[in-house]
Amino acid sequence: MSNVTSQDVSLRSLLTLNNNDFKEFICGWSAGVINVSITFPINKIIFRQILEDVPAKTAFQQISREGVRLLYRGILPPLCQKTFSVSVMFSTYEGCKERLCTLTNNGVLIRVLAAHFAGTAEAILVPLERVQTLLQDWRYHDKFKNTSHAFKYLLKNYGVSECYRGLVPIICRNSCSNLIFFILKEQSGKLMDEQESVLTSFINGALIGGFTSTIFYPMNVIKTHMQSKIGGDFEKFMTVAHEIYIARNRSIMSFYKGVHLNCMRSFISWGVITASYDFLKKIMFS
């Protein structure tokens, strides 16, 4: 009887949120706010390159002609999405890893499962990423006034499922990039030991983030093309990838249009996120 009680207590401890989960969430959320405020204009230029298949200079000129009033159009979804995404990513990964350690000693399996759970949990926020895509697409400038208007339109005319268009590439992107990011971050942390400063933390996060975002950049291209459409059948991942490949002269490199700016943005973005997160974590867990 006591053995059953012990198992029940162990199961409850795995499923119950604790104070460390809350602290991880706050650290991640704060780092996300700082990041979005700095990198949104760069992200908008990259988006225009992905959607229009134009050089960075042309995308910059287009956005410049639209004026400052429209520069931060669509910032609310990424502000909500990215801040919560980063907080969920860190808190879910660390929380899952801590709990899975009580079930198995297989370090690789623990990290793979934790990364997948974190990536899937982040996917709950897909509707915000979906609306951000529509608000940044010039073809919908006159159709949608703001974030709430876009949400109301999608829900009223197409239902909740339309808000989750592009879910598959997002889960794949999140899970794979999380796994590589955390493994490299943990390994570099071991090499630096306790001597890591804000600057080294920034450089460490910038290099890892830039590397992972570059590898999985084609996922964003496919996701953007999926989410730029409203209504109709939900296209399969490989179908959209093949359509883009054919439309862009059967060139694999065309999937990397805008990758240079994306790498620069990710370098800055993940540098800021990692430095902010590590700094806040030292304060909150001290």
* Whole-angstrom distance, CA of residue 286 vs CA of residue 230: 48
What separation, in Å, do the N-terminal and C-terminal C-alpha atoms of the chain show?
A: 39
| pLDDT at 230 exceeding the cut of 60 | yes
Contacts of residue 69, defined as CB under 8 A and 6 or more positions apart, other chains included, come to: none
- The pLDDT value given to residue 115: 94
| pLDDT at 4 exceeding the cut of 50 | no
- The pLDDT value given to residue 180: 95
| pLDDT at 175 exceeding the cut of 90 | yes
Q: Between 233 and 71, whose confidence is greater?
A: 233
Contacts of residue 20, defined as CB under 8 A and 6 or more positions apart, other chains included, come to: 94, 95, 98, 285
Contacts of residue 207, defined as CB under 8 A and 6 or more positions apart, other chains included, come to: 267
Which segment of 57-61, 65-69, 108-112, 270-274 scores lowest on mean pLDDT? 65-69
| pLDDT at 116 exceeding the cut of 80 | yes
Q: How confident is the model at residue 142 (pLDDT cuts 50, 70, 90)?
A: confident
> Which string of DSSP letters, residue by residue, matches 143-190?
T--SHHHHHHHHHHHT-GGGGGTTHHHHHHHHHHHHHHHHHHHHHHHH
User: Is residue 38 a contact partner of residue 93, using CB atoms and an 8 Å limit?
Assistant: no
| pLDDT at 216 exceeding the cut of 70 | yes
| pLDDT at 78 exceeding the cut of 60 | yes
User: Is residue 110 a contact partner of residue 100, using CB atoms and an 8 Å limit?
Assistant: yes
| pLDDT at 164 exceeding the cut of 50 | yes
Per residue in 12-41, pLDDT (tens digit) is: 555 566 788 888 889 999 998 888 877 888
The beta-carbon contacts of 193-200 under 8 Å, at least 24 apart in sequence, are 196/278, 198/275, 198/278, 198/279, 199/275
In Å, how far from its chain's centre is CA 245? Answer: 24
Q: How confident is the model at residue 45 (pLDDT cuts 50, 70, 90)?
A: confident
Q: Among residues of the chain, what percentage have pLDDT more than 90? A: 41
Contacts of residue 112, defined as CB under 8 A and 6 or more positions apart, other chains included, come to: 179
Average pLDDT on 215-222 reads 92
- The pLDDT value given to residue 7: 47
